[in-house]
Amino acid sequence: MKNKPIIALPCRSFTVNMPLTPQAQGAIDSYVSTIVNAGGIPLLIPLIENTDDILQLFECCDGLLLCGGEDIHPSHYGTNLEKHELGDETVTEMMQPNSVRDTLEIALVKEAWKNKKPILGVCRGSQLLNIAFGGTLYQDIEQDLGIKGHLALRHKDDSPELLDANIHTVEIECDSRLHSILNTDQIYVNSLHHQAIKDVPQDFMVVAKAPDGIIEAIECKDKNQFAIGVEWHPELLWQRNNAEWINLFKAFVKSASS
């Protein structure tokens, strides 16, 4: 029997309601279960400062999934941290950059790229993929661009319905790998990001945009390298709304198998 590909999932830090262990590391269940359902084996990568140890661990992995989470510190794309109001103290705290995670994930992206291992970035992961190769971000869509209503996060509503809500459409470039996977020019997506990609690095191209012009997906130009980043959360959509979204993860896992 052929071995299933091992997919690296870098952890994120959590504050948990447990008196003896208030801080924890882990991954959101939806990412883990999506990789399993797509045919891969998820391996959680701990957040530690010794990058060499993590790269040694990554040697046994066949692909890299960059998950959503807090903002990436703008020092990684050559600017200063700006103050922005999300309207909710808890959400603002959740978005505070994690320097260990930033450094670790950038190192993993470069290692995956060097070894032709497939990379899939979701939300923050898409932004991280962009930054790792020299791209930049808008730190806040509404503040920097004056665009209101792009994202569900500003609704100040933590109801589960928001996670798979059809917030807006995206237009997908017909000659892209993403288009060949999803087999559509336009599709509805959820939207849980307050930041967005600004400048795209030379090795990448924009393959999807929202009606307001926000970049919603990028992928590398090299057709021999699987590297796609999407701003929406397909790991939530396929489980709650549209089963076809699993195809993106299946294509990713299949690429890790070859």
Does 76 participate in catalysis according to the annotation?
no
Burial of 2: CB neighbours in 10 Å, binned 0-12, 13-18, 19+: exposed
Does 123 participate in catalysis according to the annotation?
yes
Run of H or E including 51: helix 51-58
Of residues 232, 218, 67, the one with CA closest to residue 162: 232
Q: Where are the alpha helices (DSSP H) in 68-221?
A: 89-94, 99-114, 124-132, 141-145, 177-182
Does 49 participate in catalysis according to the annotation?
no
For the chain, how many residues are written? 258
Run of H or E including 135: none
Q: Which of the following is catalytic: 123, 150, 168, 194?
A: 123
Number of other CB atoms surrounding residue 175 within 10 Å: 9
Q: Which of the following is catalytic: 105, 216, 219, 235?
A: 235
Active site residues: 123, 233, 235
